[in-house]
């Protein structure tokens, strides 16, 4: 009996054989494999894939965080610049003739057409260069795309160089784009001139005050 106990007790205290170590590794790997499959099954496909890739690509995850941080900083910079522009326009005495609107998608600079152009004309006035200077300085500091829109009231054109309000609004938008590019070096590749004529009023054209508001140039800075 003593011999039997000693024999099997000695066998139990020996180190695990090599095959048992290998088997343990295989079981561990299988467990991890099924765990990953489980995560993919309970999460939406795109979300699970993103989690999986980020877990194995730390460099990519760091780049994503840095990009998000840059976007936040850029948005704060845009808002700060837009607020300063509104202050400059106010100081220039254009409180009732120009305004700056900021949303998540864009910065809109609305300038009444009579400030820049004579009635029925697309030639910029002498004072327009001074008025557009603070606007140009803002546009030069940003790398965003810019749309310059021309708008008119609904009164038909009866004389002058243009036969329709659309043609007049197009000529005015082009005149502003050319001034910003030629005098203030705003890159033309970032600017688009758009014409809407009387088709996008901001208020009713039934009154003189309403028509005055609809005659405008809108400079829209895209926020991506």
Q: Given pLDDT bands bounded at 50, 70 and 90, which one contains residue 47?
A: low
Same structural domain, 83 and 171: yes
Per-residue pLDDT at 42 exceeds 90: no
CA-CA distance, 10 to 176, in Å (whole number)? 96
Same structural domain, 139 and 30: no
The larger pLDDT score, comparing residue 219 to residue 5, is at 219
Residue 13 placed within a domain: yes
Same structural domain, 52 and 102: no
Residue 64 placed within a domain: no
Name the least confident of 2-11, 142-151, 172-181, 212-221: 2-11
Same structural domain, 43 and 85: no
CA-CA distance, 130 to 128, in Å (whole number)? 5
Same structural domain, 198 and 92: yes
pLDDT at 4: 45
Same structural domain, 36 and 144: no
Q: Which domain holds residue 168?
A: 72-222
Same structural domain, 209 and 111: yes
SS3 state at 131: helix
Same structural domain, 42 and 121: no
Q: Nearest-CA neighbor of 184 among 127, 123, 135?
A: 135
Residue 62 placed within a domain: no
Share of the chain above pLDDT 70, in %: 72
Domain tally, the chain: 2
């Amino acid at each position: 009996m003593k011999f039997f106990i000693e024999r099997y007790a000695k066998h139990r205290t020996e180190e695990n054989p090599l095959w048992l170590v290998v088997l343990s590794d295989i079981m561990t790997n299988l467990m991890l494999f099924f765990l990953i499959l489980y995560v993919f099954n309970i999460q939406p496909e795109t979300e699970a894939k993103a989690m999986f890739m980020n877990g194995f690509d730390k460099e990519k995850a760091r780049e994503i965080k840095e990009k998000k941080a840059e976007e936040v900083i850029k948005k704060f910079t845009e808002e700060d610049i837009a607020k300063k522009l509104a202050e400059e326009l106010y100081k220039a005495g254009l409180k009732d003739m120009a305004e700056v609107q900021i949303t998540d998608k864009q910065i809109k600079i609305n300038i009444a057409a009579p400030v820049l152009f004579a009635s029925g004309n697309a030639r910029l006035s002498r004072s327009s260069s001074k008025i557009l200077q603070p606007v140009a300085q803002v546009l030069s500091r940003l790398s965003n795309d810019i749309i310059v829109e021309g708008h008119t009231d609904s009164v038909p054109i009866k004389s002058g160089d243009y036969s329709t309000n659309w043609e007049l609004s197009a000529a005015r938008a082009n005149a502003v784009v050319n001034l910003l590019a030629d005098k203030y070096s705003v890159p033309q590749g970032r600017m688009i001139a758009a014409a809407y004529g009387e088709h996008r009023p901001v208020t009713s054209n039934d009154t003189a005050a309403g028509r005055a508001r609809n005659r405008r140039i809108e400079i829209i800075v895209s926020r991506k």
